[in-house]
Structure 1
């Protein structure tokens, strides 16, 4: 049996075809009993059957394999370290079909993985519900199985539960029998699917219900009394299923061959992109198609809010589970940002019903096929449903997060080798999701919308109910577009990192050179095939080409017009301009000559180049000053984020200049903040509502006294009346942060009041909003209280990470706290990806070589596979910060520049 230990994949002696699973959860004792009968094909002569199992008690006497006769194993051994169950038989099993039977017992754990318990209240009484979370490799904690995505099978599930509870699974119930206080529910057989998509939920719930035009019943389940909070998600889900089912692409026949603008959506909602009038019947080329080529394949779709849930949501086939914050929306107490998150997460999870559930990655190396595509498609759907949100501009936040992680030497390729189940959790990160989505957007932009969609539909149709690898997708796109997709994309998925394209004007030539970008300032040896797009002085004439070598030049003629490379940030790379081109772009930003996507991109690239010490902080600050009258939410949001980071690093490098930095940042944000004001305006946009909150929060964190005074006044009104119009949901974080800025050990009233609000609310979004504000206090004693509060039963384990975002004043406190509580933290969160958040949140903000060494020494004997990559990345960020601090300290012109900017009146 020893030969099976330490293997990343199961041996292929037998292939599962169908599972018949019976589960009986005991919600009071927090345990469960079960049995499974697995129809197998034995494909080679073997004395062994090897499958996955973990945290289960197997009854050896119950194990049998029946083929032409019954076989009983001579040895049954569970290897917990490798999470495998090995069954050894005295004689070789005959090849062909057979049936494996196993009885087992398990614990409804509190780790938010496998078959676990979540808690909720009914009329003041605390109750348990039973929930499954099997991705990536935790179905084995509920029943013995071939727990790999390629081992697709059909599942028939039977549940025995208390008769007063709701019990849900992937499929509708086929039969229900009540036997005394219990009921036995048998569910219809599922289509072929992977084990990680099996789902069961048992508890007491309310629901709201809708239906698609072709009869798919859609329900949103939630805690009793919260049903009205499910209506928004229900509406989004019904419309999104319709949207994914059928799209129409209409192009005006006169410009179809050279179209730059198109509308992708349902015919009933088709509007002319520049005027709002219908295109129907106005001389158009009309292309009708099903976007995914295959309709949604189950008879129902349930979505359920779970009070304790580690991830944001999980795309279980036909029974999608969510955090409450990602599914429920309260008209009175949820912010605009909450509404947007619900819409994008629902669209993401429903995209998975095709990308992931219908067509499934062959192994976790190809996780990005699931997550990158679902992320990209969620923006497509959200943009169609809510065009006023300008969601594709907000997609740049995804791009930026992908670029920031992938700029580390400790990044990993999109296609990453996985050698053990314990390594999988760490790749549910910005590479798989955000870089994955960004390279898809880049490829779609290069190939064009219509060929890309057509090829994608062909891919889904070909691999429906099967498994696929990245190269299968490239083959489909290459065949459908006629472009060398495989050659183009391999450099983006099989090697980590990305290029910085340096652009220099030399007479009438624009010279391009690519090198690998690393935030450390080092130079990597990667090389890519880069889709270059550019325009000069106007967006009417664009040039594009593939940069296949290290360098190339393009004729741009004479003139002093601005030149923008990587138009609308469609490419996954950064651009570094020479001084002349930078000056032209800075002027174009001030004159609002560039799109908001390009304004965003120039700023973000400049920040990254400054951090990597490729340009001075002075030049970055000079560029930031050009955004002092920036009107757009996404650009200003990024400007705020960059200001936080620059402020923290400046405080380490030049503490004597910190006040000037703060005054400069306040001056940047005051114009827009005063224009918006504190009070929402009738009919204002969704984006203005989000922007107001972010601007006022930024001013509060910068210690802007008028903002702090107003925050205190409105918070007091809120304490007197929770429904006061003075503090709508979009403003609450700003007020909470403002209140905490003035809290200290001798003035605790604001802190105590905020804790009172936390304890009184039952809205998850409000609780996380408060947790995210508490640690912004500058007083170290209060920060320690907040951190200790995170470990109390008052804070659900899923939410503790929201309170870790301490300011610069709290870094040392947080580090000491992490060390002092490491054993408890490791035990509580160590078996899931949330553990990585503790490490990155506490370690990454430091900016000294000495602190990096201290962190390395502490973790030398405490590292385990689940946090190894995150720890290396966090330490690399500390070294990057430390080098940046050194560089800033040697920047001679910085002092005069920041003082001048700090005194400037906007």
Structure 2
């Protein structure tokens, strides 16, 4: 292990890394050895394909106070066919001058017109531009936004003085580099970038590459120039400016891992920095390609976004503070895990997405599904005590909840407009993509899979791919049936349903009768012909080793040695639901305690979902959930308590709800009593996480002791603002806020105003919206648009109110549309509405959502249509769920 080097750099000086780092060398796929050609017709594009860039030379001068910037760009490009027009992307940019300089000869003046709808700039010459090499020089200006897209500003309290300060950041995925520079802003137009910025001398500027030089300028300014990037897509370019400090550690592979944070963050960056340095060499080894840049920074963005937590800019990840800095006063146990796993996700992107990039947004899952899968892999490797593999089941459930609706889409989806790009980042892209990868790796074997991945990385470095390129690489390494299975699961939308129709023991063997179907949350969509998937099954009989079987037909008979309980989807890595016949499920329930934890976890989640959807009585899922004792594995117990809390939310006020509350308290209060209210310094993180969930669950069902304790702790804030500090701060606040009186609510608002940091402030602000008291909920909504909460906190208040009062929140947003629109960028507004109504069960909301969807362009309406479909599903299923849940409770032991 190489010795670590740590330093804190102030805003006035950043140590420039030697950009002639031995790791920074481009593969044979780099432009120097490639013959440039027009973008193939097989790759979608908004541009006319008559040119492509090789290099950008950009200088920007931001005015953070005025929220404007000016820029100059010199773009080296190749023109392939004669035309009087070059078309580039540009959104919100005002071009003051433009000219085209051929390799030899005088510059050609250009006239510029902008098309707002297509987000393009047309550079028109007086005569046809002949094929050849050119440099396009453009002077332009743009605006700095206050929502995270393009170049944007975030205001936050200085950690030393409490004074409001401003930082600048960029967010370019998917179509927003065009807000920063005229560009060929599509993933297949890869180029190298030189970036310089004229900035205040006392501020730190950060980009993808290290600083190559700094020049002092008059008026207290400096010009910061960064080293040339590798060949990359425009959406990966990054720039940040602010009063920052940089904490570094040299990883074992020689790469400098840095955390760039607001000055005063101090040792809050330690955990993230150490984790970053830890995972980098692991990825080097796994991919068989060394990280090719000399440094990897993770830049802290204060505040939060409604729609994303981090971005994988090459060499300069950006992550919102709540999931990057570990603050002992506010970071929950889940928050600590998120710091590790989210950073691992973005680091995995440095290879899968940045080094090798999808050709078009249709294959965005190649970025996100793989990064999620790799993040789980490395997180579980370095943190085995977290039982992290169980989280894959939660991801599978999140994907299936969306994939089982009629509004689902394939993993490989057609994306054509900017709005569709924004909406492509959903649970199907991330979690279904991840689940398919995990299933395929398990099917072909971990070693074969890794060799295929290494071949893929070497072959396509600095280039673009489609999904089939990966399947070819895995099959080239020896993987069988990969393309067959992958094509079906990535191109056919929906959730496979495997029906175990009968299991017979004959002659010492188990004979299984299996049939394929499709799982749907819509009772009206269960008839008709269904797709046939090639389903990789892993089946365990009794205590025998699991056996593999590929089911390729609608029905199948499988004979396996031994007799005993039959578990299909052993290990829970198959992306399908399993509906057992009654006898088979009864055997699994009776032997539940002997199953592996991952199978217990998966069986409970799967059968609850089947019961909630009406494929079996609610009693089937409830019996399995009730089989999880309070003494179970901490991760399993945490999930079980969370599922009980969700079931409690289904019931309306009345005897059944009281019975369920009593059952939950009897089962889980003793476990909380054993753990105690206070975390112990030496306890495993999973125990702290379980305690937090038990407090939330018991607080939700009204357990008197927990509710009283939450209110008592809230009251201590009046005299000691630090009294709640610790990993359970958010937990106690949520319980207290739900049960808040008017004076409690006022105290929460006062604490928000006094909070020293933005993360803590947002914790209080979001708590304001949780009040069960309807008058306080209305007050929280009015407060959200009062101008007092910052623009990133205000929408969180509204979505908090929507947890208990979705209809009220929806009506408020519609009535105050102009004020709310100022808080959320247009592309995100439909997703915001979908989130607001996510728990509604009001029939009247059907008409309201339908009316709102009709006001949106077709490519923007998708999230609202999905929300409407989910609402109809809840309306169809909720009466049966309540009736069957109440019936089961009548028979449950007391």
The TM-score with structure 2 as length reference comes to 0.90
Corresponding residue for 1:235? 274
The question of 1:873 aligning with 2:866 is answered yes
Q: Which residue of 2 aligns with 1:642?
A: 643
The equivalent residue for 1:395 is 392
* Distance (whole Å) between structure 2 residues aligned to residue 644 and residue 332 of structure 1: 26
Give the 3 Å change call, closer, same or farther, for CA 563–10 of structure 1 in structure 2. Answer: same
The within-5 A match list for 1:119-138 is 119-122=155-158, 123-138=161-176
Q: How much has 1:759 moved relative to structure 2?
A: 2.6
Residue in structure 1 matched with residue 7 of structure 2 by the alignment: none
2:153 pairs with 89, 113, 117, which one? 117
Residues in 2 aligned to 1:671 and 1:583: alpha-carbon distance in whole angstroms:
28
Partner of residue 528, structure 1:
533
Question: Retained in 2: the 8 A contact 1:73–1:87?
Answer: no
Question: What CA distance in whole angstroms lies between the structure 1 residues aligned with 2:226 and 2:836?
Answer: 46
Q: Are 1:899 and 2:894 counterparts? A: no
1:460 positional shift: 0.4
Cα deviation, residue 771, structure 1: 4.1
Distance 1:581 1:763, change over 3 A: farther
Higher alpha-carbon deviation: 22-31 or 674-683:
674-683
Matched, 1:307 2:333: no
- 2:436 corresponds in structure 1 to 439
- 8 Å contact from structure 2 (residues 98, 111) kept in 1: no
Are 1:570 and 2:573 counterparts?
yes
Give, in angstroms, the shift of residue 822 of structure 1: 2.3
Distance 1:70 1:758 in 2: 61
Q: How many residues align?
A: 837
Partner in structure 1 of residue 60 of structure 2:
23
**Equivalent residue, structure 1, for 2:22:** none
**C-alpha separation in 1, matches of 2:577 and 2:337:** 28
Residues 458 and 719 of structure 1: is their aligned pair in 2 closer, same or farther, counting only changes over 3 Å? Answer: farther
Is structure 2 residue 548 aligned with structure 1 residue 553? no
Structure 2 unaligned segments of length 5 or more: list them: 1-43, 506-510
Contact 1:700 1:734 in 2 (8 A): no
Alignment of 1:618 with 2:628, yes or no, is no
What SS class does the counterpart of residue 133 from structure 2 fall into?
strand
The CA deviation at 1:851 is 2.6
Distance 2:446 2:730 in 1: 39
The equivalent residue for 2:712 is 713
**Aligned with 2:85 (options 42, 45, 48):** 48
Residue 126 of structure 2: which of 68, 86, 90 is its match?
90
What CA distance in whole angstroms lies between the structure 1 residues aligned with 2:147 and 2:647?
Answer: 37
Structure 1 residue runs of 4+, over 6 Å off? Answer: none
* Runs of 5+ consecutive residues of structure 1 not aligned to the other structure: 1-6, 247-290
2:518 to 504, 516, 527: 516
2:259 is the alignment partner of 1:220 = yes
Paired residue for 1:35, among 50, 72, 87?
A: 72
Q: Describe the superposition over 1:591-622 as per-residue Cα deviations: whole angstroms up to 9, x where unpaired.
A: x2112211121111122212221112233333
Cα 1:186–1:298 shift into 2, 3 Å:
same
Tell me, in whole angstroms, the C-alpha distance in 2 between the residues paired with 1:682 and 1:512.
50
Maintained 8 Å contact 2:98/2:109: no
CA RMSD of aligned residues (A): 2.2
- Which digits, 9 at most, give the CA deviation of each residue in 1:458-499, with x for residues without a partner? 100111111111010010001102412111110111121120
Match of 1:200 in 2: 239
1:866 is displaced (CA, Å) by 6.3
Alignment partner of 1:69 is 2:102:
no
Deviations 1:4-63 (A, max 9, x none): xxx95211100100011011111222111111111111111222211100101111x433
| Secondary structure, aligned partner of 1:245 | helix
Listed one character per residue, the Cα deviations across residues 285-318 of structure 1 (whole Å, up to 9, x for unaligned) are xxxxxx1121111111121111145321111111
TM-score when normalising by structure 1: 0.89
Report the equivalent of 2:208.
Answer: 170
Q: Call closer, same or farther: CA 1:663–1:46 in 2, change over 3 Å.
A: same
Residues 305-357 of structure 1 show CA distances to partners (whole Å, capped at 9, x for unaligned) of 11145321111111111100121002343222111110011111111111111
How many angstroms apart in 2 are the aligned matches of 1:419 and 1:739? Answer: 46
Please report how far the alpha carbon of residue 789 of structure 1 lies from its aligned counterpart in structure 2 after TM superposition: 2.8
Q: CA deviation at 1:802?
A: 3.7
State how far apart, in whole Å, the 2-side matches of 1:450 and 1:839 are. Answer: 44
Greater shift, 614-623 or 21-30, is seen at 614-623
Q: What residue number does 1:287 align with?
A: none
d(CA) in 1 for partners of 2:822 and 2:711?
Answer: 39
CA distance in 2, matches of 1:680, 1:120: 30
RCO comparison, higher one (Cα < 8 Å, 6+): 2
Q: Post-superposition shift, 1:71?
A: 5.6
Quickly say closer, same or farther: Cα 1:717–1:692, change in 2 above 3 A. Answer: same
Secondary structure of residue in 2 paired with 1:413: coil
User: Is contact 1:779-1:809 (8 Å) kept?
Assistant: no
- Equivalent in the alignment of 1:159: 197
Verify: 1:189 aligned to 2:225, yes or no.
no
Aligned to 1:541: 545
1:780 and 1:809 in contact (8 A); partners too: no
Helix, strand or coil for the counterpart of 2:792?
A: helix
- Indicate conservation of the 8 Å contact 2:407/2:869, yes or no: yes
What is the CA deviation profile of residues 836-894 of structure 1, one whole-angstrom value per residue up to 9, with x for unaligned ones? 44212222212244431232124422x245641111111111111111124346x5x65
Q: Return the alpha-carbon distance in structure 2 between the equivalents of residues 470 and 767 of structure 1.
A: 43
CA distance in 1, matches of 2:859, 2:703: 41
Matches within 5 A, 1:724-873: 724=723, 727=724, 729-743=726-740, 747-803=741-797, 804-806=799-801, 809-833=804-828, 835-861=829-855, 863-864=856-857, 867-873=860-866
Taking a change above 3 Å as real, the CA distance of residues 390 and 608 of structure 1, as seen in their structure-2 partners, is same
Q: 2:49: which partner in 1? A: 12
Q: State which drifts further: 440-449 or 401-410.
A: 401-410
Aligned residues of 1:627 and 1:668 also touching (Cα < 8 A): no
Q: Displacement of 1:242 after TM fit?
A: 1.8
Bigger CA drift: 111-120 or 708-717?
708-717
Label 1:894 to 1:370 Cα distance change in 2 as closer, same or farther (>3 A): closer
For the Cα contact (< 8 Å) 1:507–1:558, is it kept in 2? Answer: no
CA contact (8 A) 1:697 1:733 kept: no
Question: Contact conserved, 1:308 with 1:323, CA < 8 A, in 2?
Answer: yes
My pick for the range that moved more, 519-528 or 684-693, is 519-528
